[in-house]
Homo-oligomer: A and B are copies of this chain.
Amino acid sequence: MSEQSGPVEVRDRILETASDLFYRQGVRAVGVDLIIAAAGVAKTSLYRHFRTKDDLIAAFLTREDEDFWAVWDRVAAAHAGNAAAELEAHLAWIGERVGRPRYRGCPQLNVAAEFPDEGHPARVVARAHKLELRRRLRGIAERLAVADPDGLAAQLSVMVNGAFVSAQVLAGDDAPAVLTRMAHALVSACGSPPPRPSPAP
């Protein structure tokens, strides 16, 4: 108990509070005054731990990114060696998340919508997050041994991002079921890889 109120605790409280407000109300709609009031800290503390508000926004997305992949990794570990089951499990928890009552879309996509400048520090994080999603989906596609893993990864990326923004239009549907059915269709259509080039069979 040497540092119950050490520098780490305050920084975390600020980031935690800011993340919650940013996600629920939008980044531009939340000012630093609101954040410090909700977190119960002084403005100087916020600016000691985060150089600018833009840095705080980037830290928000980085946090969301880490949390997202933490869940992903946990689910992936539970289905090691079975790519089809792993994909289905991912779509199950993503679909469940999308269907939650207070779900307000993917933070990365929301921030990207709010800030057109691709050089914004938060946009850099968001872009990396989406590329990582596609990279991981491609990994699953490869283990599924389909004909065109890259094409399947692109399709699954579109599907997952679509689920993130379709909460409104999917209201009333069973999101996990929709995603699972879609994935089955896409994987099946992608077929098996062509046989190794060999003398005409």
Q: Tell me how far the C-beta of A122 lies from the nearest C-beta in chain B, rounded to whole angstroms.
A: 13
User: Residues of B contacting A163 with CB < 8 Å?
Assistant: 158, 162
Complexed CA–CA distance, A115 and B29 (Å):
8
Interface hit among A77-85, A105-113, A193-201: A105-113
Residue of B nearest to A105 (CB): B113
A104 within 8 Å of B by Cβ? Answer: yes
A34 within 8 Å of B by Cβ? Answer: no
User: Residues of B contacting A105 with CB < 8 Å?
Assistant: 112-113
A19 within 8 Å of B by Cβ? Answer: no
Q: Tell me how far the C-beta of A61 lies from the nearest C-beta in chain B, rounded to whole angstroms.
A: 14
How many residues belonging to A are interface residues under a CB distance threshold of 8 Å?
A: 47
User: Residues of B contacting A28 with CB < 8 Å?
Assistant: 26, 28-29, 114
A101 within 8 Å of B by Cβ? Answer: no
Residue of B nearest to A110 (CB): B113
Interface hub of A28, A166, A188 (most chain B Cβ within 10 A): A166
Complexed CA–CA distance, A43 and B170 (Å):
40
Identify the A interface with B (CB < 8 A): 24-26, 28-29, 104-105, 109-110, 112-116, 126-127, 130-131, 133-134, 151, 154-155, 157-166, 168-170, 173, 178-179, 181-182, 184-186, 188-190
Question: 7 A-B contacts, Cβ less than 8 Å apart?
Answer: A105-B113, A112-B165, A112-B168, A133-B169, A157-B170, A158-B170, A185-B186
